[in-house]
Amino acid sequence: MPTSVRRFVAGAAGLSAVALLAGCAKNAPQDTWQPKGPNAQKIDDLQKPVFAIAGIVGLIVFAAVAYAVFRFKDRGQPIPEQTHGKPVLEIGMTILPALLLAGIGVFTFRTIFDLAKTDDTEMVINVTGQQWWWEYDYPVQTDYGITNPIITSGQLVIPTGTKVLLRETSRDVIHSYWIPALNGKRDAVPGRVHYLRLEADKPGIYAGQCTEFCGLSHAVMRMEAVALDKADFAAWVKGQLELADSPAEGTLAKEGESVFLNQCVRCHQVNGLKKADGSPAIAAPEENVWSGAAPNLTHLMTRNTFAGASWDLLTKECRKDVWEAPGGEFGKKYLAGVTEECLNQTDLRRWLRNAPAMKPMYADPTKLGPTDGKYRGMPNLGLSEDDIDKLVAYLATLK
């Protein structure tokens, strides 16, 4: 086989391999070709034909190059005539792709404006990025039983079949919110509010990842969108509106509460938590953290993940059980939250022992000059194993 042919075969094989093998990985959580909602579906409907057209054009070019390479190899033929081109062919080959692209352009145009619509919104959620986690807050919307603002982080919970509009912004640098199964990405830019439409067809967990480089721990800034059917969503809302109860006197959890009051409440709010004197304990992250916010932990155990949705609160088996639950049962399983036996103690303890060792953060107290002594991320609190036992017991009560 002449080299020329081999070259063509290599090229063509490479391309077809791209086309064929793309389908080979099953259920990658962030697969962009598996839409699970109408917005992502619109993108998919547009991009699949474009990929096909691009593939066909590619094959035509490769075939032409391969033919020329093979057919016109120097076998001692005379020097060809020194022609300088055929204007008709040239003009034709300019107009043809122009027409093709004009066709694609029309559909692109329509999709862009469809995806930018906001007048059919049924629910809004504020999404705020900061290094390196997402905060969600639900403005008061009595239609959904949200009589007081709800605040949570890591996992965004939405009702299925509802046109949700995210209002994205950021407290520090630019982040980008992306749940591939539900829609394309949109940057969260400090000082601006950007929209993103989100709608899920079926209950389930949809994985996502911050996609705008946002500094040190960009790789471990994740998020998940959890879709619940409307009844389950109402139950979730009801649960989120409740205040945290203080654990019973004499339990390990009660001791954990005082550790929390000593250490964690500087940044982390637990709604309903009271100081020893009975006044409400209010966190002051703005005094300790550059972004001025830290995750609200009131209902920590209703979430599956922690620390920027990067580590599981559930053990492996329990996680599998929830993530792979069929549509009908998913809601119930998710709402059950993290039970005692399902709690992934290993990662949680590791985190409490030394958070910056698990997720790189700017937490070295000697290097906080540029931020006026404020941390970016969570510092190592230097807790004793005893304190960690107590804290884990307390955190497990935050349902």
Q: Which of 52, 74, 51, 54 is nearest to 62 (CA)?
A: 54
Q: Which of 284, 305, 309 is nearest to 294 (CA)?
A: 284
Indicate the residue among 338 and 361 with the shorter CB distance to other proteins: 361
Report DSSP state, residue 133: E
CB of 170 to other proteins, least distance (A): 8
What span, in angstroms and rounded, lies between the C-alpha atoms of 303 and 189? 26
Q: What angle do CA 256, 269, 234 make, to 5 degrees?
A: 105
**Cβ proximity to other proteins, 187 vs 255, nearer residue:** 187
- Considering the complex, state which of residue 250 and residue 365 has its C-beta at the smaller distance from other proteins: 365
Residues 6+ apart with CB under 8 A from 334: 205, 226, 228, 232, 304, 322, 325
Cβ-based nearer residue to other proteins, 259 or 283: 283
* 240 CB burial (10 A radius; 0-12, 13-18, 19+): buried
Nearer to other proteins, 79 or 276 (CB): 79
Neighbours of 351 (CB within 10 A): 18
User: Measured from the CB of residue 224, what is the shortest distance to other proteins in angstroms?
Assistant: 11
Strand partners, 376: 362
Distance of closest approach, residue 259 Cβ to other proteins, in angstroms: 22
* Nearest approach, Cβ of residue 269 and other proteins (Å): 7
Quick count: other Cβ atoms within 10 Å of Cβ 27? 7
Nearer to other proteins, 150 or 381 (CB): 150
Provide, rounded to whole angstroms, the least separation between the CB of residue 266 and other proteins: 14
Specify the residue, 194 or 332, whose C-beta has the smaller distance to other proteins.
Answer: 194
Which residues are bridge partners to 390 per DSSP? none
Min dist CB 121 to other proteins, Å, is 5
Shortest Å, Cβ 285 to other proteins? 7
| Structure tokens given for 304 | 């599956």
**Token pair listed for 393:** 């017991």
Closer Cβ to other proteins, 148 or 384, answer by number: 148
Residues 6+ apart with CB under 8 A from 36: 181, 182, 200, 201, 202, 204, 206
Find the shortest distance in angstroms from Cβ 4 to other proteins.
7
Q: Which helix (H) or strand (E) segment is 235 a member of?
A: helix 230-241
Which of left, alpha, beta for 388 (phi over 0: left; psi -120 to 50: alpha)? alpha
Neighbours of 59 (CB within 10 A): 15
- Residue 89: CB minimum distance to other proteins, A: 7
**R_g of the chain computed on alpha carbons:** 27
Task: Name the minimum Å distance from CB 298 to other proteins.
Answer: 11
Give 173 or 228: the residue with its C-beta nearer to other proteins. Answer: 173
Separation between Cα atoms, residue 214 and residue 339, nearest integer Å: 33
Distance CA(141)–CA(240), nearest Å, equals 14
Judged by beta carbon, residue 90 or residue 329, the one nearer other proteins is 90
